[in-house]
Amino acid sequence: MISCSNPTNKRAVTLEELDSIQAQDKIVLETFVPRRDMLTAAEIIDVADCDNLSCIQLYMKNLSRDFVYGKKDEYYAAQRISIKDTAGNWLTLPASTFYVDVNPQATWRVAHTVHTKEQRDNLLNEFKNLDFQLADEGYYIGIKSKQQRYVSKKYPDKNLYVTATFHPFYMKGIYDNKVTWPCYVFEMYKGR
Amino acid sequence: MRIHTKYFFLFILAGIVFLSVRHWLDRKREKIQDIDIVRGDIDEGDSQLGLWAQKNDSALLMVRLRRDGSFDYQVVAYPVKDTLRYTGRYRILPSFVSNSRVSYPRLIAVSANGDTLINHFIQLTRAIKRNVDVLSLKANNDPDAPAILFYRIKQ
């Protein structure tokens, strides 16, 4: 009886087999891991063509590996990042958000918010590669900070608004309470 | 066909006797051989016991959770000369259900110096398709949260 082997070993592996088991799992998990942390410029332009919420929802459904549906009108990047806020605290939050507002009295419609300067610079460069140039600057769409407006000859009916702010949205989603990290908001509208 | 009640009770009694004898023998064997026995056919609430390991790019992590509440955690960093070893006591806080959510059970492992080495939500997966149990440690209570996976190693 004492020399019998441990019955738990039927559900265990040796250290040598551990490598192959982990490799198997990694292949399976890789199909679920998000591949990026924000929308591309092309996607933002495509979404701006949508007239209603169902069109946007259908579009985002294809991106569901990278953007998870939070609740109505709120999409979050599946990838999370850790950033240091203005008070020096480390925060862990989704790498970017994509919010929609369908209320008739809302001053904005669709906004993609990123949370680091690198993300903002990368995204802006993508737009600049599509010939978006700075048209003017001002207070436009209900956000209390100055926005820059970009237009491109390739997309004559589209306007891109970019702003950096600590008050992106009034009490919405993760921006509900005090926001202590800089948010860079990208909005694209057809025709305004 | 008539069912004889006394044979039924004898059968139940035999089952109880068999299980308790096997339980007692398992505990004796654990002490003598210094292994952890977790039976697969009956869930006695001790499936977290045993030797668990994970190999990643920088190190091999091994955690041994023993029945008496002590744990043994080794980090074998590559090159193999550097091995960190921690021992201490661990507790499993059971899962609970509240109005807003269900919590996973929690493993808290405190080393002999008082450092908390593991403070994670755990999820145990019995061998289903393959022949290995998996212990996953999560930092958050979310079902979607990323988890560190440990695999059961033969003792």
Q: What's the ipTM? A: 0.82
Q: In the beta sheet, which residues pair with residue A60?
A: none
DSSP 8-state code for residue B141: S
- Chain A residues with CB under 8 Å of B127 CB are 10-11
- The residues in B 92-151 lying below 8 A from A, measured between CB atoms, are 126-127, 130-133, 144, 149, 151
Task: State the average pLDDT over residues B90-109.
Answer: 90
Q: Is the overall model pTM greater than 0.95, yes or no?
A: no
CA atoms within 13 A on the CB side of B75: 8
Residue A11 lies in a domain: no
* Residue B75 DSSP symbol: E
Q: What are phi and psi of B75, to 5 degrees?
A: -115, 110
In a domain? residue A8: no
Return the pLDDT at A65.
85
Cβ neighbours of residue B55 under 8 Å, at least 6 residues apart? A15, A18, A19, A22, B61
The answer to whether the peptide bond before residue B79 is cis (omega within 30 degrees of 0) is yes
Predicted confidence at residue B90, as pLDDT, reads 96
Q: Which residues of A touch B54 (CB under 8 A)?
A: 18, 22
**CA angle in degrees (0–180, nearest 5) for B143-B111-B39:** 60
Which residue is listed with tokens 């003792």? B155
Contact B154 A14 (CB under 8 A): yes
Number of domains, chain A: 1
Helix, strand, coil distribution of chain B in percent, nearest 5: 20, 40, 40
Pick the CATH number of B50-152 from 3.40.50, 3.30.519, 2.40.128, 3.30.420: 2.40.128
Give the per-residue pLDDT at A142: 66
Residue A90 placed within a domain:
yes
| Cα-Cα end-to-end distance for chain A | 82
First-residue to last-residue Cα distance in chain B: 49
Return the domain boundaries, chain B. Answer: 1-34, 50-152
Chain B contacts of A12, Cβ < 8 Å?
Answer: 50-51, 131-133, 151-155
Question: CA separation (Å) from B119 to A95, B2, B90, B104, B152?
Answer: 25, 57, 10, 12, 19
Domain that holds residue A75: 41-190
Taking alpha carbons only, the member of B34, B12, B58, B48 closest to residue B125 is B48
Of residues A150, A147, A179, A182, the one with CA closest to residue A163: A147
Strand partners of residue A77: A67
Q: Is the pLDDT of residue A111 over 60?
A: yes
Q: What is the mean pLDDT of residues A50-68?
A: 88
Distance CA A130, CA B48 (A): 55
pLDDT band at B99; cut points 50, 70, 90:
confident
